[in-house]
C-alpha cells in the first residue's frame, strides 16, 4: 500500500454482466446478493474494530484541543498542488480527507471516513462506496460522488504515480449522489478495494467553478479542502500555517476521536541543514527527526537537553524497516550485468563506515522486508519453492542454493579480499583495467559513474565508497544538486546511481508493480527508478497481489525478496530506530500503536500546558544564567 490515510463505503448498483480481466463477473443481481457490505477492510484477518466502535484503542479520547505545533521541512516549495508533476509541492495534505482511514494498531486495515461503508463481491472485481451523508467541504457544500469521480480522473490524468497505482480501474461511475463504483480489469486482487479507499477526494465544484483554477497546473492559491485543517497563511517557499477547523464535519467519527488535537500547524522550510538544526536548538520549531548519526552522537548535548526541556527519544515499530540503498539505473548498459552490480557491493565498506562515521548506530540492511515475517531467511521452504520452481532458469541460481548475505568488510584484509573478488566478477562480465581505468573489453567503453545526491551532508558517506571503487578502476563523480533539479533528474531517470528508500507495509500488493514492475520501468515519475524489466519479477509480483491467503502472500514476498537481492539491483545501506528530539510541551498516549511511525506523531499527540509552562520557566532560567544555544555543525549521512 502506498498512501497512509484511508476510508470505506457501501454499494448497490444496476449493471449488466461485465467481462473483467481473466474472469467474467456474474450478473449484477447475483453479484450483489453475494457481495459483502462492511464498515472496514483488512488484508490480514478480520478488522479489529467492530461496527459502531467508539474510537481506536491507542488514542486518548479526552485529549485536549489547543496549542500550536511547529515542524520543519527541508527544502522549499513553489506549488500547493501535489497531484501534478509540475512544481515542487508544499505540505498540503492536512486539508484533505480520503475515502477511508488507516488504523495504527493493525497491519493493512482501513475504516470509513468520507465513505461510511464499502461493498465488494467475492472475486473483488469491483468496489462500491457509499459516502457519509454529513461529509462536507469547508465551504459547506456536500461531498458527492461527482467529487470522487473528478478526483480519480484528475489524479490519474495528471500524475504518473496515481496513473500507475490506479491502473486496474476500467470504469469509475457515480451511481447516485452518494454512491460510487469502480470496476477493475482483473479479479482475485484483494487489495484493489483498499487502494481505492486511499483516494484523496478533491472538490469538483471548486476546481471547475471559477476562471483561472486548473487542477492540472501548479498554484500558490490555498485550495479548498474537507479535512481537519484549512490553510490560512502562505509565505511562498518559506512557511505554511494551518488552522484546525472547529466545525470539521468528521471530528466525531470513530476514526478521528482523539486525533487532530493542535489548533495550529506551522511548517517552516529550511534550505540549509545547519540552519535547521540551530533553529531547533533555538526553539523555533518543536519536533525533529534526526537522520545523522554524527549529529545524534555529538550535537544534542546542550542546556535544554540537560535540564529536560528537550526530550530525546527513539521509536521503533513492527513495520518492516525500509530498504535504503544505492540503486543502479539499469537503463545504462554498463549496469546490465548483475556481476558488475555485485562488484559495487563488495567495494562498499559498511563496517568501517559504521565504526568511524556512524558511531556504531546502524545495522546493515539485507532484505527488502527487513525485520518482518516477509523477510527471506535461510533457504526457501516448500511453499516458496512451489512458487519459485516454475521460474528456475529465469532467476539467479543462488535463489535456490544460498541465503543472501552482504559482504563483510571492516578490516584491510577483508576489504582486499572483497576487492579481489570484485575484480574477478568484473573480468567475468567483460571488464578489465587498461591504463588504470576499468574498460569494457568488447566495446572499449570506460566505466565512469556519477553518484547523484541532493544532500551535501551525504558526501561524507559517498567519498569512502568512491575511494574503494577507484581501486577497481571505476571513475566516480559525486554531484550534489538542488532539490528541484534532483527531482527532475530522478523523475526522468537521468542518473547513474542515486540513494533511494523503499518502504514496505506488512501487506504488500499493487505498489510492488510501481517499485519493480516492467510496465513502470519506462513511465517517468514512477518508483521503478531502477528500471527493472524482468518477467520473473513480474510473475512474483502477481503471486503477491493474487495470493489467496496470508501464508501464500508471505511465501511470495519472501520469494520476491530473494530474487531482488540475488539480482543485486541495489547496494543495501543501513537502518536504525527513528531518532527524535522534541521540546517538552506535548502529551502522547501511554501505549503507542505498533504500526505508527514516531509514536503516531502528530496525529494522536496533543499540546500539554503543564509541560509548556515548565519549558517556558526553564527557558527563562537559562536566559538569566546565560544558558547555551548549542554549537553549529554541518554533519549528516
Give the residue among 250, 295, 125 at the shortest CA–CA distance from 196.
125
At residue 614, the pLDDT reads 58
- Spatial contact of 70 and 240, defined as CB atoms under 8 Å apart: no
Domain 323-575 has CATH 3.30.70.2740: no
At residue 611, the pLDDT reads 67
Counting as low any pLDDT under 70, the low residues of the chain are 1-33, 610-637
Please state, in angstroms and rounded to a whole number, the distance separating the CA atoms of residues 470 and 464. Answer: 10
Within the chain, what is the greatest distance between any pair of CA atoms? 79
Please state, in angstroms and rounded to a whole number, the distance separating the CA atoms of residues 532 and 568. Answer: 11
At residue 483, the pLDDT reads 83
Please state, in angstroms and rounded to a whole number, the distance separating the CA atoms of residues 422 and 420. Answer: 5
Torsions phi, psi for 168 (to 5 deg): -80, -5
At residue 553, the pLDDT reads 94
Please state, in angstroms and rounded to a whole number, the distance separating the CA atoms of residues 489 and 541. Answer: 27
The model carries a pTM of 0.81
At residue 14, the pLDDT reads 24
Q: Domain 1-271 is of which CATH architecture?
A: 3-Layer(aba) Sandwich (3.40)
pLDDT, tens only, 90-142: 999 999 999 999 999 998 899 999 999 999 999 999 999 999 999 999 999 99
Residue that has been written with the C-alpha cell 584491510 in this structure: 412
With vertex at residue 202, the alpha carbon angle to CA 196 and CA 204, rounded to the nearest 5 degrees, is 120
DSSP secondary structure code for residue 89 in this structure: B
Per-domain residue ranges for the chain?
1-271, 273-316+580-637, 323-575
Amino acid at each position: 500500500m502506498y498512501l497512509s490515510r484511508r476510508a470505506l463505503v457501501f454499494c448497490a448498483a444496476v449493471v449488466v454482466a461485465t467481462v473483467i480481466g481473466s474472469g467474467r463477473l456474474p450478473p449484477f443481481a447475483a453479484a450483489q446478493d453475494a457481495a459483502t457490505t462492511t464498515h472496514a477492510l483488512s488484508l490480514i484477518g478480520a478488522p479489529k474494530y467492530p461496527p459502531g466502535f467508539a474510537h481506536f484503542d491507542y488514542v486518548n479520547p479526552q485529549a485536549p484541543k489547543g496549542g500550536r505545533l511547529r515542524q520543519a521541512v527541508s527544502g522549499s516549495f513553489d506549488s500547493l498542488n501535489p497531484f501534478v508533476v509540475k512544481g515542487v509541492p508544499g505540505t498540503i495534505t492536512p486539508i484533505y480527507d480520503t475515502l477511508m482511514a488507516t488504523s495504527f494498531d493493525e497491519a493493512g486495515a482501513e475504516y470509513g471516513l468520507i465513505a461510511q461503508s464499502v461493498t465488494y463481491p467475492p472475486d473483488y472485481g469491483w468496489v462500491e462506496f457509499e459516502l457519509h451523508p454529513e461529509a462536507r467541504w469547508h465551504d459547506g457544500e456536500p461531498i458527492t460522488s461527482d467529487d470522487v469521480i473528478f478526483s480519480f480522473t484528475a489524479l490519474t490524468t495528471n500524475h504518473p504515480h496515481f496513473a500507475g497505482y490506479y491502473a486496474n480501474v476500467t470504469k469509475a461511475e457515480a451511481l447516485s449522489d452518494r454512491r460510487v463504483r469502480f470496476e477493475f480489469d482483473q479479479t482475485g486482487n484483494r487489495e484493489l478495494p483498499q487502494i481505492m479507499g486511499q483516494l484523496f477526494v478533491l472538490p469538483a465544484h471548486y476546481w471547475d467553478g471559477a476562471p483561472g483554477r486548473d487542477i492540472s497546473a501548479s498554484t500558490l492559491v490555498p485550495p479548498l479542502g474537507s479535512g481537519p485543517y484549512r490553510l490560512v497563511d502562505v509565505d511562498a517557499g518559506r512557511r505554511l500555517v494551518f488552522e484546525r477547523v472547529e466545525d470539521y464535519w468528521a471530528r466525531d467519527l470513530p476514526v478521528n476521536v482523539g486525533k487532530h488535537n493542535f489548533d495550529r500547524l506551522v511548517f517552516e522550510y529550511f534550505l540549509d541543514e545547519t540552519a535547521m538544526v540551530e533553529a531547533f536548538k533555538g526553539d523555533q520549531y518543536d519536533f525533529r527527526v534526526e537522520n545523522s548519526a554524527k549529529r545524534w552522537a555529538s550535537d544534542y548535548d546542550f542546556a535544554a537537553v540537560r535540564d529536560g526541556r528537550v526530550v530525546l527519544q527513539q521509536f521503533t515499530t513492527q513495520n518492516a524497516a525500509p530498504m535504503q540503498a544505492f540503486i543502479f539505473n539499469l537503463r545504462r548498459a554498463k549496469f546490465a550485468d548483475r556481476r558488475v552490480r555485485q562488484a559495487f557491493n563488495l567495494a562498499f565498506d559498511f563496517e568501517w563506515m559504521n565504526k568511524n562515521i556512524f558511531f556504531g548506530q546502524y545495522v546493515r540492511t539485507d532484505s527488502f522486508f527487513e525485520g518482518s515475517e516477509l523477510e527471506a531467511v535461510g533457504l526457501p521452504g516448500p511453499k516458496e519453492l512451489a512458487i519459485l520452481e516454475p521460474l528456475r532458469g529465469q532467476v539467479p541460481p543462488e535463489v535456490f542454493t544460498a541465503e543472501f548475505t552482504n559482504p563483510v568488510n571492516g578490516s584491510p584484509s577483508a576489504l582486499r579480499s572483497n576487492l579481489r573478488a570484485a575484480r574477478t566478477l568484473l573480468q567475468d562480465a567483460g571488464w578489465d583495467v587498461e591504463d588504470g581505468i576499468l574498460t569494457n573489453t568488447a566495446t572499449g567503453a570506460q566505466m565512469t559513474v556519477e553518484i547523484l545526491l541532493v544532500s551535501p551532508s551525504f558526501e561524507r558517506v559517498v567519498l569512502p565508497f568512491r575511494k574503494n571503487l577507484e581501486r577497481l578502476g571505476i571513475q566516480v563523480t559525486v554531484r550534489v544538486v538542488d532539490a528541484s533539479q534532483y527531482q527532475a533528474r530522478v523523475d526522468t531517470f537521468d542518473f547513474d546511481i542515486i540513494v533511494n528508500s523503499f518502504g514496505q507495509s506488512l501487506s504488500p500488493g499493487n505498489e510492488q508493480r510501481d517499485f519493480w514492475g516492467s510496465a513502470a520501468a519506462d513511465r517517468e515519475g514512477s518508483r521503478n527508478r531502477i528500471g527493472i524489466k524482468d518477467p520473473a519479477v513480474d510473475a512474483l509480483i502477481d503471486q503477491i497481489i493474487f495470493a489467496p491467503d496470508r501464508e501464500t502472500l508471505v511465501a511470495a514476498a519472501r520469494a520476491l525478496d530473494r530474487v531482488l537481492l540475488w539480482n543485486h539491483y541495489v547496494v543495501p545501506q543501513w537502518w536504525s530506530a527513528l531518532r527524535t528530539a522534541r521540546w517538552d510541551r506535548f502529551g502522547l498516549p501511554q501505549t503507542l500503536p505498533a504500526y505508527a511511525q514516531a509514536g503516531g506523531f502528530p496525529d494522536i499527540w496533543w499540546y500539554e500546558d503543564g509541560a509548556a509552562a515548565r519549558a517556558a520557566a526553564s527557558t527563562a532560567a537559562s536566559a538569566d544564567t546565560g544558558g547555551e544555544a548549542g554549537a553549529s555543525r554541518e554533519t549528516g549521512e
